[in-house]
Copies of this chain bind each other. A is one copy, B any other.
Amino acid sequence: MTEGVPQTEPTPGGGRPRNADATRAAILRAARERFAADGYDRATIRAIAADARIDPSMVMRYYGSKEGLFAAAAEFDLRLPDLSGTPADRLGETLVSFFFTRWEEDTTLPALLRTASTNPSGAERVRDIFATQLGTAVARVVADPTEAPHRAGLVASQLLGVALTRYVLRLPPMVDLSPPALAAWLAPTIQRYLRDPTPR
């Protein structure tokens, strides 16, 4: 790669040549929109390249694979609900119910976990996403803001653990439980991590 050295290259639609930085930016913008709109499995390199008005081979040249592109583009909006109006004793239930609404039909979270498990830049993105989005949402609803990071970490450990066992590893009993049954088990856990006093 020749980071910082401007390069020009043709676009498939015959538009103006663009330099490498502009090309990368266009690819990442298109990838984020496609992955967010279509989910990981349905988003294709071809569609992303078409959105960016670039040849698919250029996408492969810069990012190597769909997984590599995903790791580079992963600045996902978890679309967390605003919890500030939720009664304090219903925070766990609300967050768990959101989790199933958001992720039950979307393959992006499993893809993010797969990528992050094996790719350092994927792991870095997951750390960013959880610190800025879940960390911020949790900070608004905990009693003591200095405890927000580790409470958010505990919430992530349980919710990502469900994503891992249900959608990635597909442990049969975790696949078999219905979302309402699973939510009923998980809500008190998340509620405790958000609001109970620190155990001693």
Contact = CB atoms under 8 A, between A and B. Distances in A.
Contacts of A114: 117-118
Contacts of A171: 126-127, 130-131, 153, 156
B164 A150 contact: no
Interface size class of A (residues with CB under 8 A): 35 or more
Main secondary structure of the interface of A (DSSP, over half): helix
Copies in the complex: 2
Contacts of A174: 150, 153-154, 156-157
B123 A172 contact: no
Interface string A150-162: 1011101111111
A176 B188 contact: no
A184 B168 CA distance: 28
Contacts of A172: 127, 131, 149, 153
Nearest to A165: B157
A166 interface: yes
17 contacts: A117-B169, A123-B170, A126-B169, A149-B172, A152-B173, A153-B172, A153-B174, A153-B177, A154-B174, A154-B185, A157-B164, A158-B189, A160-B161, A184-B199, A184-B200, A185-B193, A189-B192
